[in-house]
Structure 1
């Protein structure tokens, strides 16, 4: 009786230990699954964070705050003087100024005039200036806008000026404390070099500011007898023939003008040479009669 009791008690304890062991394994498996899921979620969060950071980096502006711009634009016009007046009024209206201008005649077609302007236009008014030029009665051949980012160079120069300013202050302090002529001379030489370098760098900054605040605009205006709305070769054949005929007529007209002017130039020489030839002819004729 006692043996059966102890046997049944041992068997019950064994079953209870096995059951507890299985529960611990299940709980450990569940905890492993949770940790794996959590790890996966963390990785997803990290990936999203990295992608977000990358997108933020890509969205940052590629051009700094210190940018030098320049514009080149060319126009053709049938009314040369009217277009010049329009350009110069637009220059005055937007607070720009003419840095350089030049007018000449085309070497191939002397009847056509051309003029080039190099302007300085306030950068804040540049878009409005270019938009107003669109209202000119002329055909825009080309337009090119270029930019140069000088932010890094500008900041480096500013930092160098600050360092030189601090050095200049220290040298002035040492100069006040110097007690020998030799020390004074050495400090003054170093101070002069520091001031010269600082002023040179300051002039670079001022030049940068001028180029940044005022955009350089090059305008080329060319006179033409006619201007087609479309300069491409896909224009109608009759339109191209008409334009060629008109250009040819203008060329012939100006050729006749140039010919008359040339005759006027050579007329005195022709008269003098004719008189000399006539005198020689008369002299020879008299000599033969004798």
Structure 2
């Protein structure tokens, strides 16, 4: 009887041990599946960091070498010009400026015209012309003027920024390709969402960099010229300023009266100021004159 009980006990112990082993194997399989998805996300993050750091160092050195290797004639220069001119006829000058713009393949960005009064007109124009026609256009506009009040040109070298943007664009495009691969290998929804968010941020940065590159391309290709045109009346018979006879005569008359009044005022001040001396001298002189006249009459009578 005791032997039978012992056999039953051993049988149940064996069954329980087998059950525990199966549970442990199932848990290991589940854990392995979870670790596989986590490994994909971890590999995705680590690869991005390694790619960014490695390419950043390589691109930095490559950018410096590339900028130094660029010839002066091939550098990216943004040209700007500012011109203030006086013309005899505004409308005629405006038409000739527009003709020059059309001939040099440029275009007007902004323009405004103001009436200065007395029939005179002025205007401002913001014009873009191809970079190679920048100086010829300034010379043509200058030739239309009676007087050049101001001419200023500036140039900004954006070569280094342009090369850096191109390098950053290549790096982000490489990251985008890796993220697309990771998205295909993602096993869980959580990993897929995480990689999708990172991909969206990368693509947004690519669009921003590409937009800046396009902007610099346009600024370099077309130089900006700001023109201020002022109409100035010439020396003609219709120039009322130079023929204001009545006004000039009135001014001369007023000036003459002022001079005479200044002289009279000076004499009065001189006499009054020296009256303590002049009055006794005048009295003494008058007495001497009277005495002299009396003596003269007395001598004549004798």
Offset from partner CA, 1:59-91 (integer Å, 9 cap, x none): x98897011110001111111111111001111
- Runs of 4+ residues deviating >3 angstroms: 60-64, 249-252
Selected match of 1:174 from 161, 182, 191: 182
**Does structure 1 retain, via aligned residues, the 8 Å contact 2:107–2:127?**
yes
For 1:248, what is the secondary structure of its paired residue? coil
What is the root-mean-square deviation in Å for CA atoms of aligned residues? 2.8
For 2:241, what is the secondary structure of its paired residue? helix
1:75 equivalent to 2:85? Answer yes
Match of 1:91 in 2: 101
Selected match of 1:196 from 204, 217, 221: 204
Query: Could you list the runs of 5+ residues in structure 1 that have no partner in the other structure?
Result: 1-59, 228-241, 253-290
1:65 equivalent to 2:88? Answer no
Displacement, 1:111? 3.3
**Structure with max Cα Rg:** 2
1:250 and 1:151, CA in 2 relative to 1: closer, same or farther beyond 3 A? Answer: farther
Match of 1:149 in 2: 157
Q: Equivalents in 1 of 2:228, 2:133: separation in Å?
A: 20
1:85 and 1:200, CA in 2 relative to 1: closer, same or farther beyond 3 A? Answer: same
For 1:225, what is the secondary structure of its paired residue? coil
Q: Equivalents in 2 of 1:202, 1:111: separation in Å?
A: 49
Q: Equivalents in 2 of 1:93, 1:220: separation in Å?
A: 20
Q: Equivalents in 1 of 2:154, 2:244: separation in Å?
A: 37
Selected match of 2:137 from 96, 120, 129: 129
Q: TM-score if structure 2 supplies the norm length?
A: 0.53
Offset from partner CA, 1:5-50 (integer Å, 9 cap, x none): xxxxxxxxxxxxxxxxxxxxxxxxxxxxxxxxxxxxxxxxxxxxxx
**Does structure 2 retain, via aligned residues, the 8 Å contact 1:111–1:251?**
no
Q: Aligned residues, how many?
A: 176
**Does structure 2 retain, via aligned residues, the 8 Å contact 1:63–1:149?**
no
**Does structure 2 retain, via aligned residues, the 8 Å contact 1:226–1:247?**
no
**Does structure 2 retain, via aligned residues, the 8 Å contact 1:64–1:149?**
no
Query: Could you list the runs of 5+ residues in structure 2 that have no partner in the other structure?
Result: 1-69, 246-302
Q: Equivalents in 2 of 1:74, 1:176: separation in Å?
A: 62
Q: TM-score if structure 1 supplies the norm length?
A: 0.55
